[in-house]
Amino acid sequence: MPEVVHEIVQTDFEVEIQARIDAERARLRAEAGLARMREFKKPVERTFTAAERDYVTILFGGLTWKHEEMIKAVFHGSGYRCENIPTPVVADFQAGKEYGNNGQCNPTYFTVGNLVRYLQGLEQQGLSRKQIIDNYVFFTAGSCGPCRFGMYEAEYRFALQNAGFEGFRVLLFQQTDGIKAASGEPGLKFSVDFGMGMLNALNLGDVMNELAYQVRPFEVNKGETDRVIRDAAKTLTDTLRDRRRWHIVDASPAWMKPFFEKHKKIEGIGCTLGKIAHNLYGKEYVDALHTCRDRIDAIQVDRLRVKPIIKITGEFWAQTTEGDGNFNMFAFLEKEGAQVLVEPIATWIAYMMYVAKQGAKARAEAEAPHKEPKWYQLNKRFANGFYLFKKTGGLTVGSSMWTYFYHRTIKHMGDTAHHLIPQKELARLAHPFYHQLARGGEGFMEVGKNVYYTVNHLCHMVLALKPFGCMPSTQSDGVQSRVVNKYKDMIFLPIETSGEGEVNAHSRVQMALAEAKAKARAEFQSVLDRTGKSLEELHEYVAAHPELSHALYRVPHQEGIAGTAAQFALHVSELINKDAAWRRRVRTPVAASQAA
């Protein structure tokens, strides 16, 4: 009986607290003029069901064509109808402004307008609005913020409504929940083959993208890289789409079938593991990688062309898109004689896992089931530790596997693309300027990459592409002025991308590029002086050794040198120094430093 009294007293107490809170809230709302404001309720969306899978087309976009082709192939291979929306152009930006809210960031305008104009294009082809709304859905990434990324979904819906496509479905792939929770519908179903296919698609898109930018500036036959990369991408997409789907029952001898019939759980586990292995290590897949590698390797290059390396950083979308969204910056840089170092999407995924893990660690004490246990309360301390492990263990394993699979793809594709920079290292380098838990956009990565590429002499200039109206980029720009002050030889240029002002942006890039070119030339000359050989001698040796002109020939990395030509010159000089027969024939002296 006393216990019941205690309970009632406690409940009354809580009710009173709640009543006071409500009264105070009402007072404050009235004071702020919000008394009649209703809370926002997310509109209930029509579901995308399994029955619709055969006739509904999933639309998506926003990445490079290499990524999009791979992703499309995986959707097709899993039985979905799917189309990628073309790369956004200025007209999309204008449509985004026309139909969307004011005061958005640049990627919102471009991507929202891009979808609206694609649907309008379907209408012009003769489809009615009802047919478009019933037969198409849009698939995109979502987030809970903290920047405007958290508002993309609402923006899509708002603009679609304004453009007359009310009820058009937007499926969200939440960063935190994954595909299953995002769609919430069996129409878009997560399977092992689909998930592993997407992992391969993203990795291949990244590696192919980097190889294209790595090889093209040095190609001997103009246009060859683009042609070969297109062919190679076709081979990969055909494989991702058409490869045989592995199943444990098909792969096992006939006498095991009754066993699997009886033990469905064992069949399920075996099938999942087998599918993972088949997706990653299957002969069909690995052979396709090697075929592409050999085709790309056959492109003839001249690595002795001196070009400044421009590392691209900035906001995720602005540094990925290959069109008007970033003033066609990559094509412009290549036309101006630079080598572009692009950023893989894999970095961003690694970043998200890292931040989730560090956030969990930072909150560990507050969220621990036992508050401030004494040193001798081992069971409580263990319970707290286990609680944290449950939160972070999966992320640790996930990020290690992610890095491993990405690097494995690089290895099978010639082993010349860049490995992922450990997030811990980026966070450490950024830390004096930017806290690792200050989230939004690229977070600490913009500062971390700027410092990393500069102190390790991996580029001649860092170009940060920051969308107009981007909140996190504005924040990191403020910090970058301090970074540049500390690292005096850094050439760092932030460019605000927008739907307008391309000429102005290009001219600013040209000015900084002139400095970067001078830096690259000076570096090359000092390397040449060090070797004691002339450029002609190096060319002569390369001409006599055709393997050195293969696109995927691996040039060992020399610390402290950024340029491709300078690295290559040093390597060729070392080869000459070791090649006594060659030296006798052409009478090339051994470099003074080497001889000593």
* CB neighbourhood size of 440 (10 A): 18
**Number of residues binding to ligand SF4, judged by CB under 6 A:** 13
Closest approach of ligand SF4 to the CB of residue 461, in Å: 22
Contact 120, 163 (CB under 8 A): yes
**Which residue, 105 or 188, has its beta carbon nearer to ligand SF4?**
105
Please choose, out of 78-86, 145-153, 340-348, 577-585, the segment that lies near ligand SF4 by the rule CB under 6 A: 145-153
| Residue 560, Ramachandran bin (φ over 0: left; ψ between -120 and 50: alpha; else beta) | left
**Which residue, 326 or 473, has its beta carbon nearer to ligand SF4?**
473
**Which residue, 279 or 319, has its beta carbon nearer to ligand SF4?**
319
Full DSSP string of 515-580: HHHHHHHHHHHHHHHHHT--HHHHHHHHHH-GGGGBTT--PPPPTT---HHHHHHHHHHHHHHH-H
Closest approach of ligand SF4 to the CB of residue 501, in Å: 16
Q: Is 297 in the site for ligand SF4 (CB under 6 A)?
A: no
Among 105, 349, 463, 538, contact with ligand SF4 (rule: CB under 6 A): 105
Please choose, out of 112-120, 469-477, 493-501, 536-544, the segment that lies near ligand SF4 by the rule CB under 6 A: 469-477
Phi, psi values for residue 495, rounded to 5°: -120, 125
Closest approach of ligand SF4 to the CB of residue 472, in Å: 5
Torsion of the alpha carbons at 187, 192, 198 and 201, rounded to the nearest 10: -140
Closest approach of ligand SF4 to the CB of residue 97, in Å: 15
Angstrom CA distances, 256 to 66, 252, 262, 265, 558, stand at 42, 6, 10, 14, 56
**Which residue, 467 or 563, has its beta carbon nearer to ligand SF4?**
467
Q: Is 513 in the site for ligand SF4 (CB under 6 A)?
A: no
**Which residue, 52 or 442, has its beta carbon nearer to ligand SF4?**
442
Please choose, out of 20-28, 121-129, 141-149, 353-361, the segment that lies near ligand SF4 by the rule CB under 6 A: 141-149
Q: Which of residues 473-492 bind ligand SF4 (CB under 6 A)?
A: 473
Residues whose CB falls within 8 Å of the CB of residue 179, separated by 6 or more in sequence, listed in order:
173, 188, 190, 195
Among 271, 471, 522, 575, contact with ligand SF4 (rule: CB under 6 A): 471
Q: Is 154 in the site for ligand SF4 (CB under 6 A)?
A: no
Q: Is 97 in the site for ligand SF4 (CB under 6 A)?
A: no
User: How far is it between the farthest Cα atoms of the chain?
Assistant: 107
Q: Is 147 in the site for ligand SF4 (CB under 6 A)?
A: yes
CA distance linking residue 493 with residue 455, whole number of Å: 16
**Which residue, 477 or 515, has its beta carbon nearer to ligand SF4?**
477
Closest approach of ligand SF4 to the CB of residue 282, in Å: 37
For the chain, helix, strand, coil in percent to 5 are 60, 10, 30
Say if residue 117 is exposed, middle or buried (CB neighbours under 10 Å; 0-12, 13-18, 19+). Answer: buried
Closest approach of ligand SF4 to the CB of residue 473, in Å: 6
Contact 315, 465 (CB under 8 A): yes
Closest approach of ligand SF4 to the CB of residue 358, in Å: 19
Closest approach of ligand SF4 to the CB of residue 172, in Å: 14
Q: Is 148 in the site for ligand SF4 (CB under 6 A)?
A: yes
Quick one: CA dihedral 274, 276, 279, 281, positive or negative? negative
CA distance linking residue 166 with residue 149, whole number of Å: 21
Q: Which of residues 440-459 bind ligand SF4 (CB under 6 A)?
A: 441
Question: In angstroms, what is the C-alpha Rg of the chain?
Answer: 28
**Which residue, 147 or 437, has its beta carbon nearer to ligand SF4?**
147
Single-letter amino acid, residue 17: I
Stretch 382-421: interaction string toward ligand SF4, x if CB under 6 A = ----------------------------------------
Closest approach of ligand SF4 to the CB of residue 7, in Å: 48
Closest approach of ligand SF4 to the CB of residue 345, in Å: 14
Phi, psi values for residue 126, rounded to 5°: 115, 0
Closest approach of ligand SF4 to the CB of residue 444, in Å: 13
Q: Is 275 in the site for ligand SF4 (CB under 6 A)?
A: no
Contact 178, 47 (CB under 8 A): no
3-state secondary structure of 301: strand
**Which residue, 117 or 148, has its beta carbon nearer to ligand SF4?**
148
Closest approach of ligand SF4 to the CB of residue 538, in Å: 44
Q: Which of residues 314-343 bind ligand SF4 (CB under 6 A)?
A: 315, 317
Among 309, 470, 552, 562, contact with ligand SF4 (rule: CB under 6 A): 470
User: Distance between alpha carbon 396 and the CA centroid of its chain, in Å?
Assistant: 19
Place of tokens 């000429």: 503
Any bridge partners for residue 135, and if so which? none
Contact 304, 538 (CB under 8 A): yes
Q: Is 142 in the site for ligand SF4 (CB under 6 A)?
A: no
* CB neighbourhood size of 103 (10 A): 8
Any bridge partners for residue 78, and if so which? none
Among 62, 88, 96, 107, contact with ligand SF4 (rule: CB under 6 A): 107
Q: Is 467 in the site for ligand SF4 (CB under 6 A)?
A: yes
Closest approach of ligand SF4 to the CB of residue 150, in Å: 8
**Which residue, 225 or 480, has its beta carbon nearer to ligand SF4?**
480
Angstrom CA distances, 591 to 425, 525, 555, 576, 577, stand at 37, 15, 19, 10, 7
Say if residue 77 is exposed, middle or buried (CB neighbours under 10 Å; 0-12, 13-18, 19+). Answer: buried
Q: Is 141 in the site for ligand SF4 (CB under 6 A)?
A: no
Please choose, out of 125-133, 147-155, 179-187, 346-354, the segment that lies near ligand SF4 by the rule CB under 6 A: 147-155
Which residues bind to ligand SF4, rule: CB under 6 A? 105, 107, 147-149, 315, 317, 441, 467, 470-473
